[in-house]
Structure 1
Amino acid sequence: MNQPPSRQPAPAPAIPAASTPAEARKLAEELMDVMSALLGIIERETELVRAGKIREAMAFEPQKTEASRRYVGVVSRLKASHPYLAKTSPDLLSTLRRHHETFRAMLQVNLTVLATAHAVSENIVRGVNTEIQRRNIPNTYGATGRRVNPTARHLTPLAVSRSL
């Protein structure tokens, strides 16, 4: 029998690393710009979610996705350039680390706000479901004088549209 040709995954394109001080500075500036742009979007989203304006906050999703994609690309280039930066520009690297820690802290605030909004909305839906189920369950008692647990035919499913 003939073996089918094995397919090898295409090699990942090489990530260009900074090799001059000018390239290192440009990479650092690009990272700072991307982090600033992403933070701006995230801060606006956080404010809107805190104000309960979820629909308006969702409008930032395409911008947030694009900024995140750019961020990942720049961070990949920074990782590829790390050995060069560590040798030639340790002060630039430490400055980038400090800014990145601030960036991570702001992201954590955003994630906390989003998690809180999710938990609140989930509790509301669960409360509505409990109330609907309570109204649909018959109040009957069995031969032992205890309340009869409802069967599946008495429970009405709750349908929720996840789109706003």
Structure 2
Amino acid sequence: MTAQAKAKQTTYQAATNATEARELADFLVTAMSELLAVIEQETELVRAGKLREAMAFGTRKTELSRHYVAGVGRLKASQTFMQAQAPELLTTLHRHHDVFRAMLKVNLTVLATAHSISEKIVRGVNAEVQRRNVPSTYTANGRRATPSPRQMTPLAVSRTL
């Protein structure tokens, strides 16, 4: 079997009738709705600075993401059938997915902002620690000497909250 044929081969079972197509659409809408609910809760907690509580959603979010990816795999396998037999379901799924994508974008922006702020705080703390640990000396020209790497004290950060 060629590499191209293997790439086209899928492990997902395609919908073959209208009932299966409807069940697949319902499954995907439910998966996206449940995942959005978790993501919205996580976003609000991160915005409020409650990172520990937000991290508790990780397991549930992973589980729901797996369901969503499985549904998308089945949808891809059923694409030809659904375009021919159930175009209205595809239109509904596209609209729902557009909302889903917009909410994910908001969540990712909030998470990126929190990450950036956390990184700036850690860098600021590290700069202060280094400033206090380095001896204050001057060069022959009267300028402050820059510390050598041997004088730097590493800063250890626990990634668990």
Q: TM-score, normalised by structure 1?
A: 0.90
> Given the alignment of the two structures, is residue 24 of structure 1 paired with residue 40 of structure 2, yes or no?
no
Larger radius of gyration: 1
Q: 2:115 is matched with which residue?
A: 118
Q: Tell me if the contact between 2:133 and 2:153 (Cα under 8 Å) persists in the aligned partners.
A: yes
Pairing of 1:8-157 with structure 2 (within 5 A): 14-157=11-154
Superposed displacement of residue 13, structure 1: 6.5
1:158 matched to 2:147? The reply is no
CA contact (8 A) 2:82 2:90 kept: yes
Q: Write the letter of the residue equivalent to 2:25.
A: A
Deviations 1:67-96 (A, max 9, x none): 000100000000000000000111111111
- Work out the CA distance in 1 between the residues paired with 2:143 and 2:97: 61
**CA offset at residue 147 of structure 1?**
1.9
What is the distance in 2 between the residues matched to 1:85 and 1:125?
51
How far did residue 153 of structure 1 move?
A: 2.3
**Distance in 2 of aligned mates of 1:46 and 1:141:** 49
Aligned-partner Cα distance in 1 for 2:82–2:157: 51
Q: CA deviation at 1:146?
A: 2.2
Asked if the contact 2:10–2:77 (Cα under 8 Å) also holds between the matched residues in 1, the reply is no
TM-score (norm 2): 0.92
Counterparts of 2:69 and 2:130 in 1: how far apart (Å)?
46
**Number of residues of Structure 1 aligned to a counterpart in Structure 2:** 154
Structure 2: where are the runs of 5+ without partners? 1-8
Q: Which runs of 5+ in 1 are unaligned?
A: 1-11
Percent identical among aligned pairs is: 62
